[in-house]
A and B are shown apart, each in its own frame.
Chain A
Amino acid sequence: MIMSVENLSMVFGGLRAVDDVSFHVNKGEVVALIGPNGAGKTTVFNCVTGLYVPTHGDVFVYDNENVTEHKLRGMTPDQITRARLARTFQNIRLFDEMTVLENVMVGFHVKLKSRLFDAIIRTSLHKKEEKSVLADAYSVLEYFQLEEHANDVARSLPYGYRRRLEIARAYATDPILLLLDEPAAGLNPSETEELSKLIIRLQKEITILLIEHDMSMVMKLADRIYVMDHGQLLAHGSPDEIKNDKDVISAYLGEPIDA
């Protein structure tokens, strides 16, 4: 197990956006979180990554390589990134006026140690790290096939590339678990196809938790699926099980009249 979410609830005033949700993600899996709009999927992501502090419940992350366990409740987003969780956003959040390469270099922030003082007097640590981060960032861009645009300003990239750059930037933080919030939103079929290939490639290194509305992609990629509706977990199982689940079908398509 790499992450477990236990009895998570998030209440905004009178609205229970997430209501007692528990699930877990195993190492090496691709787990999908699906559900109709407003089901509370993104709120779960925001609770996990520390943007919201959940009203109840806990999230645990297990880093087997370093044999550490983190209780994410009460940790700030940057601490959670240091606990090796990375995410992308539903509405792309790039550093628009910075170059593509610099975006990825920011992703390496947690891996580096040089401080302001090192930069001012150009210590050997600073020089060494700047050199390595440049090479590392460039190889990440190569991995994501963005190296041609390394020195372009992120704002100037086409939409599909922007999505990919956001994943590349998250990848640069060296996560054990990558949370992708609707990565295929707004992509055309061929771009979605490319994205699927990319996720399959990433899965060999990183565990992935995915929010997605593109069902054909989810069914193809996911090992397990959790379905949410009205803030609650509705069902969970393999893609085939979910496809034939009555509750899921009625949540998406509505109740049959005679039921």
Chain B
Amino acid sequence: MSKFISNLRRSYRLLQGVPKFLIQSLMVSLWFAILTFPIMVIQVNYTANTVEWQWGRLLLILFGGFAGSFIWFLALDRKDNKPSNTSGTYSVIKGRLLDYYASHKKLVMAIVFAIILLIPFASSSYFTRVLISAMIMMVLGVGLNIVVGFGGLLNLGYAAFYAVGAYTYGLLNYHFGIGFWIALPISAFTSVIAGLLVALPVIRLRGDYLAIITLAFGEITRIVLENWGEFTFGPSGIKGIDKPGLFGIDLSPRGEIIYVYIVVFLVLLLTILISRRMENSRIGRTWESLRENEIAARSMGINVPRTKLLIFAVGACIAGVAGALFATNISYINPKSFALLESIKILCVVVLGGMGSIPGVIVGSIVLQVIPEWLRPLQDYRLLVFGALLVVMMIFKPNGLFPKVRKSYVFTKEESEQ
């Protein structure tokens, strides 16, 4: 017996030389194999009434589990003992690029815009459509970023305002043949009204409670759209919504797509510009102070209910514009496009990219709108990938892919005396 214990001790000592996470991943893979044993390895063949043992799968699980968890622990370890990366070619190149960007901001921007505008002429219509949907997602992301990122008001029913905008244009176009350019401001306006209607009763709520109420509002909107058949055409939706007009010029189908692409891009630019300007202003500062500490914000003379209404209205306005863009792009809307999952997706764009950060919204939209297109074969697993991605993000980049960089003010005495 004592020999057995000493043997155990010796083997334990031997194990201590091995990196800790090697043992950990071995444990994980073993545990995983035991856990999945009944469903993966034991298979009953109902026709032959026999039990088949799939030992190959067991090996696969063991190997896969071991490799997966090994990479996981390695990554965790690297994250915790991150070497100070001041040297190394990667960071040098990055630094130089940033310097170049800082000194030639306008040139870089112009080149980037030119490339973006040229993409649809060079790519397939399919890819252009994917980019359009990504840019609409960016517009939505910028809008929700104002509500969640700046205002700190967790809104889980954002797709409802999106729906209001889309249906406003859809219905106006269907019944009265009103064109896109006239309907666009009307869509924004009706969304603002919807935003204010939701905001009025909930301005006293915060955090979780606000999230629940907005979630409910989002679902109510979808259910109304599905069931109020005479008004919204129910689940079958509205077909044949017009593309935006271009001074009455008839465009080829391909030209139409390129035109929509350019329109959406310009709207996106405008939205980003407005968001930036609002952020660095007296009102933008009140939004952030509200997020940081409501009581302190009140005692700084900020009218909190009015500020919250404003945040909701601005967010809804942008969603309404995005809705009209969506309707004109797809030419067909139905309630399914504005389900809870859409709200969650927009929220994911904001959180994944980094709260309060516009580059974050852009990257987040590409990650969540373009990459899934390439993963079409994995459609069924999209939610699984969504969840896994968010878990990985929370651990390795808790502040998002592109965390917000605070504006720092350069102050010189001369400036003030001018």
Give residues in A with beta carbon < 8 Å to B: 49-51, 76-78, 81-82, 86-87, 89, 93-99, 101-102, 105-107, 109-110, 112, 114-116, 118-120, 122, 126, 129-131, 133-135, 138, 150-151, 153, 169-170, 173
Contact = CB atoms under 8 A, between A and B. Distances in A.
Interface in B393-418: 406-409, 411, 415-416
B408 A120 contact: no
B282 A135 contact: no
B143 interface: no
B357 interface: no
A106 B285 contact: yes
Contacts of B187: none
Nearest to B294: A93
Interface of B: 274, 277-278, 280-286, 288-289, 291-293, 295-304, 310, 314, 406-409, 411, 415-416
A87 B299 contact: yes
Given A153-B406, A173-B301, A119 B281 contact: yes
B284 A119 contact: yes
A77 B285 contact: no
A77 B296 CA distance: 10
Contacts of B416: 131, 134-135, 138
Contact of B285 (A89, A93, A109, A151): A109
29 contacts: A76-B303, A77-B298, A77-B299, A78-B298, A78-B299, A87-B299, A94-B293, A95-B288, A96-B293, A98-B288, A102-B288, A106-B286, A109-B286, A110-B300, A115-B283, A116-B281, A118-B281, A119-B281, A119-B284, A122-B277, A126-B281, A130-B280, A131-B415, A135-B415, A135-B416, A138-B416, A150-B411, A170-B299, A173-B300
Contacts of B289: 95, 98, 106
Contacts of B281: 114, 116, 118-119, 126, 130
Given A77-B298, A97-B291, A102-B288, 14 more contacts: A51-B295, A76-B298, A81-B300, A89-B295, A94-B292, A95-B292, A97-B288, A102-B285, A105-B285, A106-B302, A110-B301, A115-B283, A129-B282, A151-B406
A78 B408 contact: no
A49 B301 CA distance: 11
Contact of B300 (A109, A118, A126, A135): A109
A203 to B, nearest CB: 21
B292 A109 contact: no
Given A97-B292, A120-B278, A129-B282, A106 B300 contact: yes
**Chain B CB within 10 Å — which of A89, A98, A112, A115 has the most?**
A98
B282 A133 contact: yes
A77 B299 CA distance: 6
A182 to B, nearest CB: 16
Given A109-B285, A114-B281, A116-B281, A93 B406 contact: no
Contacts of B303: 76, 78
B147 to A, nearest CB: 15
A76 B305 CA distance: 11
B282 A119 contact: yes
A130 B409 CA distance: 11
A119 B277 contact: yes
A164 to B, nearest CB: 15
B282 A82 contact: no
A151 B301 contact: no
Contacts of A120: 274, 277-278
B409 A150 contact: yes
Contacts of B296: 89, 93-95
Contacts of B298: 50-51, 76-78
A94 B314 CA distance: 26
A135 B274 CA distance: 24
A95 B411 contact: no
B406 A112 contact: no
A135 to B, nearest CB: 4
Nearest to B273: A120
B137 to A, nearest CB: 23
Contacts of B278: 116, 119-120
B60 to A, nearest CB: 46
**Chain B CB within 10 Å — which of A89, A96, A109, A120 has the most?**
A109
A101 B300 CA distance: 15
Contact of A109 (B301, B407, B415): B301
Contacts of A102: 285, 288, 406
**Chain B CB within 10 Å — which of A102, A112, A135, A151 has the most?**
A102
Contacts of B408: 99, 151
Given A78-B298, A78-B304, A135-B415, A116 B310 contact: yes
Given A120-B277, A173-B301, A93 B282 contact: no
Contacts of A81: 299-301
A134 B411 contact: yes
Nearest to A85: B299
